Amino acid sequence: MGMAEAILLTVATAATPLLLAAIGELVVERSGVLNLGVEGMMLMGAVVAFGVALATGSAWIGVAAGALAGLAFSLLFGVLALTLVTNQVATGLALTLLGIGLSGMIGVAFVGQPGVKLEAIAIPGLTELPFVGRLLFGQDPMFYISILLTAGVMWFLFRTRAGLTLRSVGDSHSSAHALGIKVIAIRYAAVMFGGACAGLAGAQLSLVYTTQWIENMTAGRGWIALALVVFASWRPWRVLAGAYLFGAITIAQLHIQATNLTDLAGLPGPLFWLAGAVKSVPSQFLSALPYLATVVVLVLISRNRRLTMMNTPASLGRPFVPDR
C-alpha cells in the first residue's frame, strides 16, 4: 500500500465522524431547530456502542446501540426545546454537559479495556485493485454509511415532498402551521434523526477510529460538526467537502507530529529546511490547527452578511408554540 493511499484512508477515517454528525445536524437545522448537543449525543453514542459491542462481541450490534443511544438522548432535547419551548441554545448546551457527565460515568468501567473493532469490508477481486481498491472497496462500513446518508439526505431534502415540507417548517414555522403541517412532529423527527446520526458518529469513534473508550474522546468534534453545517451553508454536498477538509487538516497535523526529521533526510535542501521549520513548531500548536481552522472558516463564511441571511433557515432557533 502506497503512502498516498494510506494517508487518504486515514483522512476518510477522520472525516467520517464529522460527516455523520454534521449531516444529521444539517437536517435538524433545516427544520428550524438548533441542537447544540451534538457533542453530548456523540459521546453517549460512543460509550454505549463501545459497551454493547464489548458485551455482545459484535461491533454491528454496538453500532446499532450507539445510534439508538444518540436517538434516545436527543429525545431529551426534544421534550424540552420542542414541547416545553425552552431556549434552544441553553438546552443544547445542557445536553452536551449531561452527555459529557453521563458518558464519563457509564464509561468508568470501560477505561483501558480493549474494544471490538468494526472490520473493514473486503470484496474479493475489487479490494486488491491497485490504489483505488482499498479506497473504494476496502474501507470500514461506517465510511459507506456516511456517504450513503449524505446522498440520501440530499435526495430527501431537495427531491421529495417530505423534504420540502421539512424545509418549509424550518423557513417559516407559522406559515407551515397555517397550511396544516404538523410543525412539532416534523421537528421531533428531525431531532431524532440528528441524534441517531450523532450516535453513529460516536460509534465510529469508539469502534473504528480508536477502538477504545477514552473520557471525552470526541474532543470537540461535535462542535466542529456544528461549525461545518454553517460552513456548508446548510447544503449536504458542502458538508461532505468540509468534513474531508477538516479530516485532512487533522491527519496532516498528526503526520507532521509523528514524522521524524531523520526520515526525511533524502528530501531536497529547501524542502528539508521547510520540514525542519514545521517540525520546530511545538506539537500543541499543531494540535490547535483544527480548532483554529474552524474559527477562520467561520469568519470567512459569515463575512458576507447578506449571503448568510439568505442561506440560514429563517426560523432557526426560534421557539414555536402552536396557537390552538
Summarize as ranges the residues that interact with another protein (CB under 8 A).
Answer: 36, 40, 76, 80, 83-87, 89-91, 93-95, 97-102, 104-105, 107-108, 173-174, 177-178, 180, 183, 215, 219-220, 223-224, 226-227, 230, 282, 284-285, 287-288, 291-292, 294-295, 298-299, 302-303, 305, 308, 318-324
CB 321, min distance to another protein, A: 6
CA distance 237 to 248: 17
CB 26, min distance to another protein, A: 15
CA distance 53 to 298: 37
Residue closer to another protein by CB (options 177, 279) is: 177
CB 102, min distance to another protein, A: 5
Residue closer to another protein by CB (options 152, 220) is: 220
Residue closer to another protein by CB (options 277, 299) is: 299
CB 299, min distance to another protein, A: 5
CA distance 319 to 84: 10
Assess contact for 196 and 71: CB atoms under 8 A. yes
Dihedrals phi, psi of 185, to nearest 5 degrees: -60, -45
Residue closer to another protein by CB (options 127, 165) is: 165
Q: How many C-beta atoms surround the C-beta of residue 66 within 10 A?
A: 33
The x, y and z cell numbers of residue 62, run together, are 454496538
CB 43, min distance to another protein, A: 11
Assess contact for 297 and 249: CB atoms under 8 A. no
CA distance 120 to 206: 15
